[in-house]
Amino acid sequence: MASNEEAKLKKVLGLTDVLALTVGLTIGPGVLVLMGPGIGLTGKGVTLAFLIAGIANCINVIPMAQLCSAMPTTGAGYRYSSLLLGPRWGFLFELGVLMSKVTIALFALSFAQYAQGVFPDLPVRWTAFAILTFFFMINVAGLRSAAALQRWLVVIKLSGLAVFVFWGISAVDIASFAHKSALLPNGTNGLLQAVGLVAYSSFGAVTVAELGGEMKRPARDLPIVLIFGTLGVTILYVIIALVAASVLPVSDVANKPLTYVAQSIMSHGFYLYFTIAGAIVSIGATLNGVFQWITKGLIVACEDGWLPKRFGTVSTRFGTPHFCLIFFYGLGIAVIASGITVVDIARLGFGALLTVNMIPIAACAFLPRKYPTEYANAPFHLKPVLLYPCIAAALACMAGQVYSLLSGLPRHLLIVEGMLFSAAVIYVVIAGRRRDYTQRHLQPKSS
């Protein structure tokens, strides 16, 4: 199943590497930046919102875990959509992923905002440019160095978040969560909007599926990290949300970063450690992880002729797709310069990502029929009686999350998102016809 360029990618990632990458991708701006807006939408109900979102995301990754165990590959979402539904669906998925990566700017801006809390004179925008450039250069140099850095970043970030939980858990007033008025101050609609927004914080594990071509034992390891990585992060988020929504009055922390809570419960030294290790390093780990997986589908799409093959070229010296990395680096720079708020960037990016991830989830329904041998031999194997209900449940969860996310977008950004999706569909139709024409005329004629 590997393409020429994909074959150049080095199989260097073991289970601990991928677990570190999963935590690095998942724990970051989602909880650190979106906790405050979540509290603003639903008060103490943000704890319930993180729980519901995490359970939904655990359901969402089950079909992908089945696909990855049966046919692990680089550019998983693109490859599965193409093989099981058709090439056009695969490329539409990849274009949606491209649109979703406006979130690169979210990570860089979030890093800069927390860094400004420690160094008040730092300019947010220029700091965001600088950190984006740093991780871009690390990943251009090669995945092995990026993966080694990721393990250390994850250890540091978990220690910082542990400090926050340790200092705050004793101050949690569980009884204050017992009243409906505290959990649903803005009604069910507020809770559902919060669920859609904070779901972004625990969805990162699914992106690790893109690295199947660079893993040593992907068929075994990917289902483990997809399901248990999502579950473990959800538990951590619920505990953090209990502290964030309980220590101070809701009005004091609504739409504010976690540093407002940390300042009230910690000594200055521990507050600085939380801000640096739990927030700044945490977001850096997420940004580093994104650069590791983000290009994989593009490599395969270029090899398949949807985009210029040179664009997906993998460097023989470093083993990295430098042109693809440059593209995403430029995208991040442009979004940072645009001035869009981090919450709206999250809505735009996660809305696009969830929408197109419904394509490979739906494609999983065709796996038992089209690839029966791979399906039967997969280390992680769900019988059809369980697989099909899981697919239906995942599609329902994702559709609900998309609606909740996009309903909170400003009208002008919603129009922009709709126009971009329409342009993507049109491009897929035109490029698909050109690709079909080229393939027909390249085939040798029978005598």
CB 299 within 8 A of CB 74: yes
The greatest distance separating any two alpha carbons of the chain, rounded to the nearest whole angstrom, comes to 83
Task: Indicate whether 341 belongs to any domain.
Answer: yes
Q: Is the pLDDT assigned to residue 271 strictly greater than 50? A: yes
Task: Indicate whether 447 belongs to any domain.
Answer: no
Residue 147 binned pLDDT confidence (cut-offs 50, 70, 90): low
Task: Indicate whether 424 belongs to any domain.
Answer: yes
pLDDT in tens, 217-244: 888 888 888 888 888 889 988 998 998 8
Mean pLDDT of 137-152: 68
Mean pLDDT of 47-61: 92
| Predicted model pTM | 0.80
**What pLDDT score does 9 carry?**
53
Q: Is the pLDDT assigned to residue 365 strictly greater than 60? A: yes
Residue 29 binned pLDDT confidence (cut-offs 50, 70, 90): low
pLDDT in tens, 331-346: 999 999 998 888 889 8
Task: Indicate whether 446 belongs to any domain.
Answer: no
Task: Indicate whether 445 belongs to any domain.
Answer: no
Of 379, 370, 296, the closest CA to residue 94 belongs to 296
**What pLDDT score does 130 carry?**
94
Q: How many residues does the chain have?
A: 447
What residue has token string 């004179």?
Answer: 121
What's the CA gap between 361 and 349, in Å, rounded? 19
Residue 443 binned pLDDT confidence (cut-offs 50, 70, 90): low
CB 336 within 8 A of CB 108: yes
CB 23 within 8 A of CB 154: yes
Q: Helix, strand, coil % (nearest 5) of the chain? A: 80, 0, 20
**What pLDDT score does 65 carry?**
92
Mean pLDDT of 297-319: 78
Six token digits for residue 51: 């729980």
Around Cβ 279, how many Cβ atoms within 10 Å?
30
We report the CATH number of the domain holding residue 219 as 1.20.1740.10
What's the CA gap between 436 and 16, in Å, rounded? 42
Six token digits for residue 230: 């999502």
- Domain hosting 107: range is 4-435
DSSP state of 123: -
Angle at 396 between CA 390 and CA 400, to 5 degrees: 145
Task: Indicate whether 441 belongs to any domain.
Answer: no
Task: Indicate whether 444 belongs to any domain.
Answer: no
Residue 445 burial by Cβ neighbours in a 10 Å radius (0-12, 13-18, 19+): exposed
Look over the chain and give the mean of its residue pLDDT values, rounded to a whole number: 84
pLDDT in tens, 378-435: 999 999 999 999 999 999 999 988 888 888 888 899 998 899 899 999 989 988 888 7
What's the CA gap between 368 and 366, in Å, rounded? 6
Integer CA distances (angstroms), 304 to 57, 100, 291, in order: 30, 22, 22
Task: Indicate whether 415 belongs to any domain.
Answer: yes
**What pLDDT score does 447 carry?**
43
Amino acid at 49: A
Domain count across the chain: 1
